A and B are shown apart, each in its own frame.
Chain A
Amino acid sequence: MKKLVVTMLLVAATATTAHAGLRVVGKGDAMRLDPTSFPPAMKANYEIVRVKCVKCHTLERTIVAIQTGVAPISGQPFDRNATKAYGIKMLRKPDSNMNKAEVKASVELMNYLLTEAEK
């Protein structure tokens, strides 16, 4: 009986991990991430992304890219190289209003989310 309970607990724990992924709230243009389970540093980074990135595009685009591993517009792989390239692209956009520290925080968040999405 004891073995059965332990086994069931292990299965339940595994199932929970398998469905962890990204916790997403809302749909379409209103799509957001649920940052409650983020580490404190990533929560701060998410605030930057939530405020700055939506000037030009919805968070749905970022979330879909992370979930699928493919940038939805270019069709290019969305991996750690891509997150930095997109960050630099936004940094160099004259009207993006993002400084280097904010871009660095955004790239770190996207890399963290990629790791989480792979779990």
Chain B
Amino acid sequence: MFLKKQTAAVMFLLGISCAPLLAPGTANAIPAFSRQHKTECSTCHTIYPELNEFGDAFLKNGYVYPHKKEGAKGGAQGAEPGNEWSVISGLPQQLPVSLTASADLAYDEDAADGNKLDLSTRSITLQAGGSFRDLFGFFATYNLYSQGMQRASSLLNPANNTNVPPGNDPDLDELFLVWRQAFGSPVNVKVGRFEPKLSMWKKSNRILPVPSYASTTYRVGLSPFSSDATEDGVELNALLGNRLFVAAGVVDRNGQDREDGYGHISLKIGGTDLKGKEPEVDLEKDSVWDFLSVTLGGFGYWGQNGEFNANGVAQNLNNFRRIGAEADILYQRLHLKGSGSFGRDSNPEFASFDAVVDSKAYTLEGEYYLGAPVNLVPLFRYEYLNAGYGTIKRLTPAIAYSPLQNVRMSVEYTHSIAPEGTGNIAFASIAFSL
């Protein structure tokens, strides 16, 4: 009986951990920004949705073009005749809305239903983003439609994880407002539903959003928490000295009166600074720092969850924490990313008696941009996960191609090694934004 229960738990965990393989993820590259600033997608992206250094500065600057002259005042002074209404009201001159669509093909030789080849996976996501007079930034993503794939909303207990009240539609992935440099300070105040700033990269900030990194997506036991889930919260973040980024926030989880807390710190050495200013490069001489940038980061999250009773109150509580460290190294066309996370859950099975589980996960990824004339990126990812029920390793070679800046095609293959055997999944995807 015990063995059966343990086997079931392992299978469940494996299923959960592999679920992202079939999930399209949310591509947060949005052409609304391109239209607003009348610039090409490659200003902020390598192959979308992955951000380049300038795109990262744009994100950290609250969706306002970095080093724009005098911020909000500059916008008013630069108003063209006939656009006064826009300046006075603070409204963007055009509706800042975008759509991203994806169609996928998955081949799973171990498909439970025998349907090894699946072409019926697709999604459409609505996005909005921009700024109001450079004083406020905003961003929203809404899953309009998806078919044939597992998503957070189809996993067990999604309400606990994504912090949506029971009975509500969880398809609103993000909706938040950033009060930029509140009261003239360097502190930005972010309020709404968003991905708490833990990892250096948003889950969409990758050439291959699917599968997402094990180090930031893994779950333990029945606890639906993962460190990249969107949640309702308030976050303060700030750029200090142009190269240090700090963030701290609280998450208001439903069903309990205690808030979760988290913090993030990252330091960038070399390269474009976090405000988008280019480094000083001697065009006459060569230096390793001409092309090298290293960003180091760390994060921590402390929280509590449980399963809801009939009154919507969390019970059989699980206290959990995650501690992580990350590194991002960019040298010319080579991009290396490393992410590791350690965790402890006091009662991830939501049982009457606590059974502590320690967990750890690592992800290493290397990408190489072939660049012009072919925007092709081969990459390789290695992942290690032990969420308390045995070790799972994943090896993913992949290639992504962007024939146009708003179209991305990718082919990837994942070989998984788990206690109960190995598995192979091939995944092809085409996505476009408009």
CB distance from B65 to the nearest CB of A (A): 6
A50-93 vs B, CB cutoff 8 Å, 1 = contact: the mask equals: 00000111000000000000001111100000001101110111
Cβ A85 vs Cβ B278 within 8 A: yes
Among residues of B, the one whose C-beta sits closest to the C-beta of A104 is: B283
Cβ B37 vs Cβ A73 within 8 A: yes
Cβ A95 vs Cβ B67 within 8 A: no
CB distance from A2 to the nearest CB of B (A): 52
Given contact pairs A92-B278, A94-B332, A95-B369, A100 touches B65 in the complex (Cβ within 8 A): no
Contact partner of A95 (CB less than 8 A), chosen from B37, B42, B278, B290, is B42
Question: 5 nearest interchain CB pairs?
Answer: A97-B372, A94-B369, A104-B283, A95-B371, A88-B278
CB distance from A60 to the nearest CB of B (A): 11
- Could you list 7 A-B pairs, sorted by A, with CB under 8 Å? A56-B40, A56-B43, A73-B37, A73-B39, A74-B69, A89-B278, A100-B283
Cβ A76 vs Cβ B371 within 8 A: no
Among residues of B, the one whose C-beta sits closest to the C-beta of A98 is: B372
Cβ B372 vs Cβ A94 within 8 A: no
- Cβ-based interface call for A110 (8 A): no
Cβ A100 vs Cβ B369 within 8 A: no
Q: How far is the CA of A57 from the CA of B405 in the complex (A)?
A: 12
Listed in ascending order, the chain B residues whose CB lies under 8 Å from chain A are 37-40, 42-43, 46, 52-54, 65-69, 74, 78, 271-272, 277-281, 283-284, 286, 290-291, 330, 332-333, 335, 369, 371-373, 375
Residues of B within 8 A of A72 (CB): 38
Q: How far is the CA of A73 from the CA of B69 in the complex (A)?
A: 11
CB distance from B93 to the nearest CB of A (A): 15
Residues of A within 8 A of B279 (CB): 88, 92
Q: How far is the CA of A76 from the CA of B71 in the complex (A)?
A: 11
Residues of A within 8 A of B283 (CB): 84, 87, 100, 103-104, 107
Given contact pairs A94-B52, A94-B332, A100-B283, A74 touches B271 in the complex (Cβ within 8 A): no
Among residues of A, the one whose C-beta sits closest to the C-beta of B39 is: A73
Cβ B69 vs Cβ A76 within 8 A: yes
Q: How far is the CA of A95 from the CA of B346 in the complex (A)?
A: 47
Chain A contacts with B in 20-76, Cβ cutoff 8 A: 55-57, 72-76
- Cβ-based interface call for A7 (8 A): no
Among residues of B, the one whose C-beta sits closest to the C-beta of A95 is: B371
Cβ B375 vs Cβ A95 within 8 A: yes
CB distance from A59 to the nearest CB of B (A): 14
Contact partner of A75 (CB less than 8 A), chosen from B39, B74, B333, is B74
Q: How far is the CA of A74 from the CA of B75 in the complex (A)?
A: 11
Besides the known contacts A76-B68, A85-B277, A95-B371, 7 further A-B residue pairs in the complex with CB atoms under 8 A apart: A73-B38, A74-B66, A76-B67, A85-B278, A92-B291, A97-B372, A97-B373
Residues of A within 8 A of B42 (CB): 56, 93, 95
Cβ B335 vs Cβ A73 within 8 A: no
- Cβ-based interface call for A115 (8 A): no
Cβ B68 vs Cβ A74 within 8 A: yes
Contact partner of B272 (CB less than 8 A), chosen from A74, A76, A92, A94, is A92
Residues of B within 8 A of A73 (CB): 37-39, 65
Cβ B290 vs Cβ A100 within 8 A: yes
- Cβ-based interface call for A96 (8 A): yes
CB distance from A99 to the nearest CB of B (A): 10
